[in-house]
Amino acid sequence: MSENKLNLTLKIWKQAGTNAPGSFETHKVTVSPDASFLEMLDELNDGLEREGKDPVAFESDCREGICGTCGLVINGHPHGPVPRVATCQLHMRNFKDGETIYIEPFRAKAFPVLRDLIVDRSAFDKIMYAGGYVSVNTGGVPDANAIPIPRDIAAEAFDAAACIGCGACVAACKNASAMLFMSAKISQLALLPQGQAERHQRVEAMVAKMDELGFGACTNTYACEAECPKGISISNIARMNREFLVSKIVSKLTD
C-alpha cells in the first residue's frame, strides 16, 4: 500500500437511461483514507474526464448529511456499511486496502434510474403533496413556539422530523416500501397540536398516494430502521397504522 493511501477496485453501475440496459464498470483508484466517499468519486471523475471518458453520474448537494440526495447502495447497504451516516459522511478509512467496492443506485419500482447512480425520487414529493402539510387557516393564533407541548411529545415529533427523505428505507426493504418515510412525516404532524385538524384526511390521502405510486407493503423486517442514516424508529409505522385505522372508523361514523 502506498503511504497513507488505499488501493481499491470499484465496481460501479453504469446505465444510460431508465429503459437502457445497465452493467458494472470496473475502475482502480488510489485514495486517501481521509477522503469522503463522494470526494473519492469526484477524484475518479476528474481522472475519467482527463482521459476523455464519461464521468460517473451521481447526486449530491449539502454533503453534510442533511439533504439526503447522496444516497447510494455500497456493498449492498444503502449509504454504506457504517450505521447512522449518509453516503456523504462516509469516509474511505472504513474500507480496507485492496478491497472491492460495489456501488449501485437505490433500486425500487417507484425510483426509476435516470442515469448511472441517479434515481428519480420525486415519488416522495408526490406523497408529501398528497397531505404531508398543514393547510388549515388558523387565523390570529398564538405563535407556534408559545403553544405548550409536553416534553416527551415534542421529543417524539422532533425525532420523526429528523427524516431527510433520502429513500434508504425503500432501498433496504425487500418490498420497496415507503412506510418508514411516510410514517415519519405523518407522526411529525400527528403528534403536534397544529396537525390535529387534518390528521384523518392526511393519513388516508398519503397512504392512497403511496399505493398508487407502486411502493410495496411493510412486513416488519426492520431493515428500514437498520439502514436509516437518521435512525428513524419503526414505532412511527405503528403510529401511522393506528392513525389510519382511526381515520377509517371516524369516516364510517360520520358518513
Residues ≥6 apart with Cβ < 8 Å to 44:
10, 27, 29, 55, 56
Residue located via cell numbers 449509504: 79
Rounded CA gap, 133 and 189, in Å? Answer: 8
Q: Which residue type occupies 51?
A: E
Cα separations in angstroms, 83 against 107, 112, 164, 226, 236: 19, 25, 15, 7, 19
> What is the per-residue pLDDT for 4?
87
User: Sign of dihedral through CA atoms 125, 229, 66, 29?
Assistant: negative
Query: Beta strands 77-78 and 73-74: pairing type?
Result: antiparallel
Three-class DSSP category at 151: helix
> What is the per-residue pLDDT for 2?
46
> Which domains, from first to last, does the chain contain?
6-115 (3.10.20.30), 122-254 (1.10.1060.10)
pTM for this predicted structure = 0.91
Cβ pair 43, 35 in contact under 8 A: yes
Rounded CA gap, 15 and 43, in Å? Answer: 20
User: Sign of dihedral through CA atoms 75, 81, 86, 88?
Assistant: negative
Cβ pair 177, 170 in contact under 8 A: yes
Cβ pair 29, 44 in contact under 8 A: yes
The residues with which 30 forms a beta bridge, in sequence order, are: 7
Three-class DSSP category at 206: helix
> What is the per-residue pLDDT for 1?
43
216 HSE (CA, 13 A, CB side) = 17
Q: Give the pLDDT of the chain (255 residues) as one tens digit per residue.
A: 446 899 999 999 999 999 999 999 999 999 999 999 999 999 999 999 999 999 999 999 999 999 999 999 999 999 999 999 999 999 999 999 999 999 999 999 999 999 999 999 999 999 999 999 988 775 666 666 677 888 999 999 999 999 999 999 999 999 999 999 999 999 999 999 888 889 999 999 999 999 999 999 999 999 999 999 999 999 999 999 999 999 999 888 887
Query: Beta strands 73-74 and 100-104: pairing type?
Result: antiparallel
What are the phi and psi torsion angles at 144 (to 5°)?
A: -55, -35
Q: Report the length, in residues, of the chain.
A: 255
